[in-house]
Structure 1
Amino acid sequence: MPLPHATFGFALLCFGLAVTPGPNMIYLASRSISQGATAGLTSLAGTAMGFVFYSLCAAFGVTALLLTVPIAYDVLRFCGALYLAYLAWQALKPGGRSPFAVRELPKDSARRLIGMGFMTNLLNPKAALLYLSLLPQFIDTAAGHVLAQSLLLCAIQICISMLVNSTVILIAGSIAGFLSTRPTWITLQRWLMGSVLAGLAVHMAAQARTR
């Protein structure tokens, strides 16, 4: 099993990424605003399926990679740092768009909502790079049971993402109304999250391999 501090660090990172606007949050918030919270939660079920798909692929792939190619850790570490730096720029760059800006979406059936949620997450580079670049850095190969560690961390990420996005869906309408009349709050949120992500990127790039 991963060490407690590594598990906590991974959970904190997952929370930071979950609250950072991305394709999933934009789609789920827009769906909830346009068609209601039930439609948003139905779409979230499809998003969860996408995470399960990614987690299984990453767990088995990362397990084989770390056990056979030790240098892969450093490659993935720098890729993860670059990815976090990219997310920081997306949050800080001028003209960033709020995920709670109202977008009109057509009403769809439950089956289509699940399918669209799944595809939105499957085509989401944020989800793919999270598992390929960030997950391996919290796995302690010396502790053994690399596959079990991978699956546990994946489960933690999915739970955190579902909790954050469920909250977003349920209060999307209220947030959209609040932010529409208070643009300063949007700017503050972007700068705060961008600064946190930039700090994580620098820390990840600078840390030495201790595993």
Structure 2
Amino acid sequence: MLLAPEQFLGFLAAAVLITVSPGPDNLMVLGFGMSRGRAQGIVFGLGCGFGCLSHTALAALGVSALIAASPMAFMALRIGGGLYLVWLGIRALRSSGQVRVAAMRGADEPLSRLFARGLLANAINPKVVLFFLSFLPQFIVAGRGHVGWQTAQLGLVFTVQAALLFALLGYFSGSVGQWLQRHARAGAWLDRLAGTIFVALGVRMIVAR
């Protein structure tokens, strides 16, 4: 069973906006691309994107286990996740929006090692684990069944779009970095949009029955 079209499109739109909002991963990709070159930025970005696969597996297994254990436990996860998303949204709305790109200096590394660095940086980040466990269930339609499979598909969609966007960011890192320097408030607007989405999703799941 594949995701419903409206389920897929709604999730993809939210995932893309969240991915392009200034954050540690995409700012690191920008830093690598600007200071070391396009190839390095692309490879590091792909590593960051595909690091989401580990979180996808954890989320799919964890949500499936909760459903099997108790529908009430799953509801508690969704409410807790909703509160976490509201908190993230409020932080984004209150953010100054200033984007600071740190140059990633140092000795040249093999591309395979850069990919592994990006993969590891994302895979071991506990904040990303919490985000996946909070964000993915908001788009699960429990009535359609196969909750674990739905979660896995959503995680794969997030992973693919993140890897593609991070790779593009690495490729255009020089131009994007210059544009961000000229438009200092761009980060604020992206934060506001992402924050609004977080709050809306969180509130929807807190009040949903």
TM-score by length of 1: 0.83
Q: State how 1:1-211 maps to structure 2 within 5 Å.
A: 1=1, 2-98=3-99, 101-106=101-106, 107-208=108-209
For residues 15-65 of structure 1, the C-alpha deviation after alignment (integer angstroms, 9 at most, x for no partner) is 232122222112111111111121112113322442122212222232122
CA distance in 1, matches of 2:68, 2:10: 22
CA distance in 2, matches of 1:116, 1:145: 34
For residues 169-190 of structure 1, the C-alpha deviation after alignment (integer angstroms, 9 at most, x for no partner) is 2222112112213323333333
CA distance in 2, matches of 1:205, 1:65: 18
**Which AA in structure 1 matches 2:105?**
L
SS in 2 for 1:183: coil
* 8 Å Cα contact 2:85/2:134 also seen in 1: no
Show structure 2 runs of 5+ residues with no match.
none
* 8 Å Cα contact 1:76/1:134 also seen in 2: no
After TM superposition, give the deviation of residue 117 of structure 1 in Å: 0.5
SS in 2 for 1:108: coil
Distance 1:184 1:44, change over 3 A: closer
**Which AA in structure 2 matches 1:148?**
W
CA distance in 1, matches of 2:20, 2:114: 22
For residues 127-147 of structure 1, the C-alpha deviation after alignment (integer angstroms, 9 at most, x for no partner) is 312321222333334333333
SS in 2 for 1:159: helix
CA distance in 1, matches of 2:28, 2:166: 11
After TM superposition, give the deviation of residue 68 of structure 1 in Å: 1.9
Distance 1:180 1:138, change over 3 A: closer
SS in 2 for 1:71: helix
- Paired residues in the alignment total 207
| Cα RMSD (Å) | 2.4
CA distance in 1, matches of 2:153, 2:62: 15
CA distance in 2, matches of 1:22, 1:94: 12
* 8 Å Cα contact 2:43/2:114 also seen in 1: yes
* 8 Å Cα contact 1:84/1:201 also seen in 2: yes
CA distance in 2, matches of 1:187, 1:145: 38
**Which AA in structure 1 matches 2:197?**
V
CA distance in 2, matches of 1:164, 1:49: 12
After TM superposition, give the deviation of residue 94 of structure 1 in Å: 4.8
Show structure 1 runs of 5+ residues with no match.
none
